[in-house]
Amino acid sequence: MSEPVIKCENVYKIFGANAEKMLKDSNGNVDAKTFQENGCIVGVNNASFEVSKGEMLVVMGLSGVNGASGLIQSGIIAMANPGECILMPRNVHISVIKACAMQNIIPIFFDIEFSLETGHYRPISTKWLKKVFQNIAFKKKKIVGVILVSPYYQGYASDLEPLIRICHQKNLPVLVDEAHGSYTRIN
């Protein structure tokens, strides 16, 4: 197995006035029920992940708990150093923007196709992404990764594999925010 290009170890996101102390006292062995009984809400409990070249990492979480946000932000911080750029569609979640602002990571936004028939953005197609890539000045900017969102808030999902292949051809790791996938019915 090749060296991971993104690595996060033992990520916790716990809300509540006592969260920090309780985490310390528990020595990392967080029992969500006990924490809840003591006024804390556990969003992320000891999550670790590695992404090697060519692999896909999907982050899923039920909105409102801040679980997906915490993991997305960890992934972004692992993906890019301050001053480096990440390519992303304009419909990324605010947690992505906040991570970039906090870490001085430069988001390079690309437009997504809009459907006048539905009034929604269309899922990103390979044709669209190729066109986006053609218009990016890769030589002038230090782009170190790509973020994709699928499915969208309205439920549209992209065919991710060919999109990721395009990114990998440029040696760019991809983080897919599938937070809305929790609500998707798969037949």
Ligand X SMILES: Cc1ncc(COP(=O)(O)O)c(C=O)c1O
Among the listed residues 61, 89, 123, 181, the single contact to ligand X using CB under 6 A:
61
Among the listed residues 69, 73, 74, 158, the single contact to ligand X using CB under 6 A:
69
* φ and ψ of 70, to 5 deg: -60, -45
Query: Which residue stretch of 17-25, 30-38, 165-173, 175-183 sits at the interface with ligand X (rule: CB under 6 A)?
Result: 175-183
Distance, in Å, from the CA atom of 102 to the CA atom of 64, rounded to the nearest integer, reads 21
Among the listed residues 5, 19, 22, 68, the single contact to ligand X using CB under 6 A:
68
Which bin fits 151, alpha (ψ -120 to 50), beta or left (φ > 0)? beta
Distance, in Å, from the CA atom of 87 to the CA atom of 102, rounded to the nearest integer, reads 17
Among the listed residues 49, 93, 103, 167, the single contact to ligand X using CB under 6 A:
93
Distance, in Å, from the CA atom of 184 to the CA atom of 97, rounded to the nearest integer, reads 24
Is 177 a binding residue for ligand X by CB under 6 A? The answer is: yes
Residues forming the site for ligand X (CB under 6 A): 61, 63-69, 72, 93, 95, 149, 153, 177, 179-180
